[in-house]
Structure 1
């Protein structure tokens, strides 16, 4: 009879506690995550599990991606929820993004310079991050355009990198336009988006 401790069944992957405390993770580490790892983002060297989106959030995301697929020029591609390295120790997953078509389709992560537009759909649990943290990070990394979509009612805010500089010397976004009925823009391509078409 074996008197040793019974081995516990393996659980789902979790980040290493010591590396989390030391904020030691890098974007390169995300490429080595196991298949059972949850959806995560990397912020200043700390792995953060992202909360599951609501059905309304996912409906808007899918409707927007579908609309963009029908309207983007040939030099852009529509992508959903893929990691974008913003620095050596920060990676985010925009809800929807436009990437350059020249990027190899075999890649599983993007660099900031591959991304033309990052879109975040604000949910109750992500308000502060989507309104303040992510746009600051995207602008600092040089992503030219950012859209924030509020729910209930659906309202789109479209930004582009401006000449304004933040307290840390990084460039910041400036609001181009916003609306709850239609969004008309000339950049990053000619856009006339009826908000009803992305409203569940």
Structure 2
């Protein structure tokens, strides 16, 4: 059920904006970015834990990690025309159950859902479309991708994906203090937590289990530069 319209006051870039509706409702209607005067330069706006979160466009090393994962997916498709998975980058996902709106770095969908999304020209996916969500951390907003902890005690994308039942969440942590990739599984939708996980260090091969069956090399993945905020 959609929230009742109300006036919200938010501050971005030292400016205060009076919003005519809830941030979630505005985000779902693609009105939020313009109302808070975001530049059209790759800056993203999401609703995480009910809060407006604005993030700058990612750096090249971040995007190169996404490219590596996509490359392995495309290779699997070419090797096996019946391979049942597809991927899409930076696609809006509306989490209506918790009134959040995310833009994952990469989404894995079934071949059937991918075809349906293209044919209906869908603008925002729902969690039921996501077999796996991928997030790659960047300085300044990594705390929004991780499980709640230092820097963000409230709900994060980690808890949001679990809450709506996304079965697999792949988090690529680029913090130079501990660069690694974690696959979270077995979401507890009531508690909003993932109960199982497996990790790989940068340089190791990631082996995504069935139903994906992908092997992803990470030897060229780079953490962000030391001294940048996390």
Q: TM-score, normalised by structure 2?
A: 0.66
Please state how far the C-alpha of 1:45 moved relative to its aligned partner: 4.8
Please state how far the C-alpha of 1:100 moved relative to its aligned partner: 2.2
Taking the aligned partners of 2:33 and 2:144, their CA distance within structure 1 comes to: 24
The secondary structure found in structure 2 opposite 1:125 is: coil
Cross-structure match for 1:157: 182
Cross-structure match for 1:7: none
In structure 2, do the counterparts of structure 1 residues 185 and 48 end up closer, same or farther at CA, with 3 Å as the change threshold? closer
Is the Cα contact below 8 Å between 1:112 and 1:143 reproduced in 2?
yes
Gaps of 5+ in 2: 1-15, 148-155, 223-230
Cross-structure match for 1:6: none
Cross-structure match for 1:60: 65
More strand by share: 1
Taking the aligned partners of 2:103 and 2:63, their CA distance within structure 1 comes to: 14
Q: What CA RMSD, in Å, does the superposition of the two structures yield over aligned residues? A: 3.1
Taking the aligned partners of 2:75 and 2:179, their CA distance within structure 1 comes to: 20
How does 1:156-195 map onto structure 2 within 5 Å?
156-162=181-187, 169-180=191-202, 181-195=204-218
Please state how far the C-alpha of 1:102 moved relative to its aligned partner: 2.0
Cross-structure match for 2:10: none
The secondary structure found in structure 1 opposite 2:104 is: coil
Is the Cα contact below 8 Å between 1:97 and 1:117 reproduced in 2?
yes
Taking the aligned partners of 1:131 and 1:170, their CA distance within structure 2 comes to: 13
In structure 2, do the counterparts of structure 1 residues 53 and 191 end up closer, same or farther at CA, with 3 Å as the change threshold? same
Cross-structure match for 2:5: none
